[in-house]
Chains A and B, each alone.
Chain A
Amino acid sequence: MNPDVTEVLALVVLLVVAVVATVAVLTRDPARQAVVLAVLGLTLALLFTVLQAPDVALSQLGVGTAITPLLIMLTLRRIRRGDAPDETGTKESAPEGEDR
């Protein structure tokens, strides 16, 4: 690929990463933050791919967009159930289908 094209692409993805990361910081609700974190993981994976590091991109995709947001969601669910007892064990509310 033309080096200029690569650099422009990297710059664009870097800007997207910066925007999504700022949104993640400004999001105050932890459940929403977990979703934004998953999107941030996706953009970071894109950045690593553009910078020709597919190995790191794959790790980022698995851990950053799937496992970490899922762990945050599960933790929130357990903590919030402590506040308001809801022990039916159904998956009614939070978008927990995050793990793919």
Chain B
Amino acid sequence: MSRSARVRLFLGAAAAIAVFYVLACTGLPHFGTAAHPYGDRAVAATLRQHTANTVSSINFDQRAFDTLGEESILLGSVLGATALLRRTDDEQEFTPGQVRVLPSTRLFGTLLLPVALLTGVYIVAHGQLSPGGGFQGGVVLASALHLAYVAADYRSLKEIRPRELLDGVDAVAAGAFTTLGLAGLITGAAYLQNVLPLGTFNTLSSGGLVPVINAAVGVEVASGVIVLLAHFLDQALATRGERTTTERGSS
């Protein structure tokens, strides 16, 4: 297709989308109004379930089945990356040499690594009470560990990263979410229904099943992201040899 034909096609399509988008937007409720039909119902249900953080209540209680799907997507992507980035026959692993790091970088990394880890644990643990939760805290935990790479080098990161263990932990935590849902079935309720005692509102143990699933998600996300980054780091820093993409790509 010639360049002018492509531009004409784009302009035609863009004009059509612009017209329908504007028409659709005129039917929307105004920005920032006081009426929130879904929000009102969600908050009421959250208070009934003694969970202080409405978002966590929606994620791990009211719509826990949706979250199970999202959780599985993460597990699936980690599995896919692991399969694609596995070491092939023509690649060799090697230990990257020591690297000189600025003293200030080393100092800040060493000081902040425990602080960042603690922040991650805090965000996971308070998922049912304050903004954050398993997913957010898990990502903080995973990136906190990689401060070891920033502050020192890849060898130091490898020493504090129990990679083989985390492979298993990732799978067990993802399975734990699925299994926790069975608690509802055993007591005669629905799958993933919040059947645990709800506890006192705004305490760590409140929310019934919410903090338990939240913790499982935290462990799964943290280990999943660490394993994912480990494969990328291994390929980028500690693997030698061409990945054959052109010559033998068709075989």
Contact with B131, one of A58, A67, A78 (Cβ below 8 angstroms):
A58
Contacting residues of chain B (125-154) with chain A, CB-CB under 8 angstroms:
131-133, 135-136, 139-140, 142-144, 146-147, 149-150, 153-154
Q: 1/0 contact trace for A80-100 toward B, CB 8 Å?
A: 011000011111000011011
By size class, the interface of chain A is 20 to 34
CB distance from A22 to the nearest CB of B (A): 16
Contact with A3, one of B32, B112, B147, B237 (Cβ below 8 angstroms):
B32
The B contact surface, by secondary structure, is helix
CB distance from B231 to the nearest CB of A (A): 9
User: A90 to B229, Cβ gap below 8 A?
Assistant: no
Q: How far is the CA of A97 from the CA of B31 in the complex (A)?
A: 39
User: B112 to A54, Cβ gap below 8 A?
Assistant: no
With both beta carbons as reference points, the residue of chain B lying nearest to A51 in the complex is identified as B32
Q: What total of chain B residues lie within 8 Å of the partner, measured CB to CB?
A: 43
Contact with A88, one of B97, B135, B147, B233 (Cβ below 8 angstroms):
B97
User: B236 to A90, Cβ gap below 8 A?
Assistant: no
CB distance from A13 to the nearest CB of B (A): 14
With both beta carbons as reference points, the residue of chain A lying nearest to B238 in the complex is identified as A89
Residues of A at under 8 Å CB distance from B?
3, 6-7, 10, 54-55, 57-59, 62-63, 66-67, 70-71, 74-75, 77-78, 81-82, 87-91, 96-97, 99-100
A-B contacts, 17 of them at CB < 8 A, read A10-B32, A55-B56, A55-B133, A58-B132, A58-B136, A59-B136, A67-B139, A67-B142, A67-B143, A70-B229, A74-B236, A78-B235, A88-B97, A89-B154, A91-B237, A96-B150, A99-B146
Residues of B at under 8 Å CB distance from A?
31-32, 53, 55-56, 94-97, 99, 105, 112, 116, 123, 131-133, 135-136, 139-140, 142-144, 146-147, 149-150, 153-154, 225, 228-229, 232-233, 235-240, 242-243
